[in-house]
Chains A and B, each alone.
Chain A
Amino acid sequence: MPNFVEPPIESPASLEQAYGLLRDGDGRPWRPLAGGTDVMVQITGEIGEPPARLLDIWAIDELRGIHVEDGALLIGALTTYTAIRRSDEVAGLVPVLAEAAATIGAAQIQNRGTLGGNVVNASPAGDTLPVLLAVDAEFVLGSSDGERTVPARSFWTGYRQTARHDHELLLRVRIPLLSGREVRFRKVGTRRAQAISKVVMALSWRVDGDAWTDVRLGLGSIAATPVRAPATEAALEGQAPTREAADAAAAALSAEIHPIDDVRSTADYRRAVAGRVLHRLIRDNGGW
C-alpha cells in the first residue's frame, strides 16, 4: 500500500485568486493540481519527493472549454480528454487530437486527465505532445504579470523541464488552423488500453499539387523531451509521398533520433519502429 501523504492544499475558485496564491513567496513552491492523474500518483512519495503544497485548479471554470478565435482553435488547459473526444470543433478542425485523446488511459483517466496536465507534466511519453508539435501549437501562460505565449517547440526544455515559471499557470493551448493541413497520429504501445507509449508520432503536411509542404514530424518516447525531427521533415518537404520519399524519410529518421534503453523498450527497437511506422504512414497516404 503506498505510503500516502496529504500535503496542504488550496482550491481557488478564480484565476485571480490562484495568481495571488502563486505569488505568495514563503519559499515552498506550489504544485498545480488539475485532474490529478499524474500528481495524485506522485504524492504517494514513491516516485520522488512529494510536493510541498498543492494548488487545486479544478474549480477554475475559466480554464475549461474549446472554441475558435482568430483562425485558431483554443482549448482551455483544464479541458479533459473526454471533452476533447466529444467536441464538434475538435472533430471538425483537428480530429487527430481526439484520436490521440482516445488512446490515453481508459474512461477513468479520460474523465479527469486534462490537456494542460499532459503539456505541463512534460513526460517524453505524453501522447498529445507530438500532435501539438506537428500542428505548431502555442501555449498561453498566465500570471499576475499578464499572459505570454510559448510555442510548443520551445516549451519542453529538458527531461520533465518546461519554460513555465513557478508562478504561472497554463491557461490554454492555441492551435492555428491552416487550410488543407493533414495530420496523422500513430502510437505504438504494449497493449491497447492504459499503455505508456514506446513510440508515438504525429505527422502533418499540406498538399501542393503532388508534393507535400510544411511538413512537421513530432515524436514522443524517443528522447528526454517530445521532439520535432527537422532532418526528416526536410527529407519530405517538397516531395510527393512516393516509395523513394518514404525510404529516404525513414532512413533520415533512424539517423536523426537517439532513443534510450529503458524498462519499456530498447533504443534499437525504438529506432527501427519509428522508421517503420513513418514509412507505413507515408505509404498509407501515397496510395501505393
Chain B
Amino acid sequence: MTFRFTVNGEPVEVKANGSRRLLDVLREDLALTGTKEGCGEGECGACSVLIDGDVVDACLVPVSQAQGTTVRTVEALAIDGRLNELQQAFLETGGAQCGICTPGMLMAGEAFLAGGAEPTDENIREAIAGNLCRCTGYTKIIEAIALAAQRRTDA
C-alpha cells in the first residue's frame, strides 16, 4: 500500500505494510532518526511526534493511521539551522544530558506550549508525564519548558 501524508511540511509517499509502525517509517524509510525508540510499548515517550498537533507515541501508531495527516518530528523544530526557543531553553537550563529522551520531551513540550495552558509546575509535569528521563531528574526539563513559555509570551 502507498500512504500519503505530510512530514515536517513536505508531502511524502511511503510504500509500506499499513501495520508498519510510524516510528519505523520515520527512522528507516524516511531516514529521520531524530525520533528515538526507547521501549517500543508506549511507556517512555522517546518516540513522541505530533500528528495534526497532538502528541502521540510513534511506536503505537500504524502508518495506516498517518494517511492524510500532518506529522511533525523533532527535525522540524530548528529553523534554518537555528534552534527554536524550546530547544535553546533546554540547552540553557541543562534540560538535556544523554539526549535519548530529548526529542520526545521537546515534542511533548511543543504540544504543551501550543495548547496555551498556564505554564505552572503542575501543568508542565502533567504534559511530560508520558516521557521518561533517566538523567535529569526532570527539574531542568520543567524549567526549560517554563522558560520557553515565558519567552513566547514576551515575544
Contacts and interface: CB of A to CB of B under 8 A. Distances in A.
A43 interface: yes
A112 B41 contact: no
A1 B40 contact: yes
Contact of B17 (A6, A36, A58): A6
Given A108-B48, A193-B130, A44 B41 contact: yes
B22 to A, nearest CB: 10
A40 B56 contact: no
Contacts of B143: none
A9 interface: yes
Interface stretch (B5-13, B58-66, B147-155): B58-66
B61 A11 contact: no
A138 interface: no
Given A2-B41, A40-B21, A54-B19, A106 B130 contact: yes
B19 A43 contact: yes
A107 B18 contact: no
B77 interface: no
A192 B60 CA distance: 22
Interface string A1-33: 110101111110000000000000000000001
Secondary structure of the A contact surface, majority rule: loop
Given A2-B40, A194-B130, A111 B60 contact: no
Given A4-B21, A7-B19, A109 B42 contact: yes
B20 interface: yes
Contacts of B131: 106
A37 interface: yes
A41 interface: yes
A59 B65 CA distance: 8
Contacts of A44: 40-41
Contacts of A2: 40-41
Contacts of B43: 194
Interface residues of B, number: 32
Interface string A109-153: 101100000000000000000000000000000000000000000
Interface residues of A, number: 32
B129 A9 contact: no
Contacts of B37: 1
Contacts of A112: 56-57, 60-61
A79 interface: no
Contacts of B57: 108-109, 112
A41 B42 contact: yes
A8 B54 contact: no
Interface of A: 1-2, 4, 6-11, 33, 35-37, 40-41, 43-44, 54, 56, 58-59, 82, 105-109, 111-112, 192-194
10 contacts: A4-B24, A8-B17, A9-B19, A9-B64, A41-B42, A59-B65, A105-B42, A107-B126, A108-B45, A108-B60
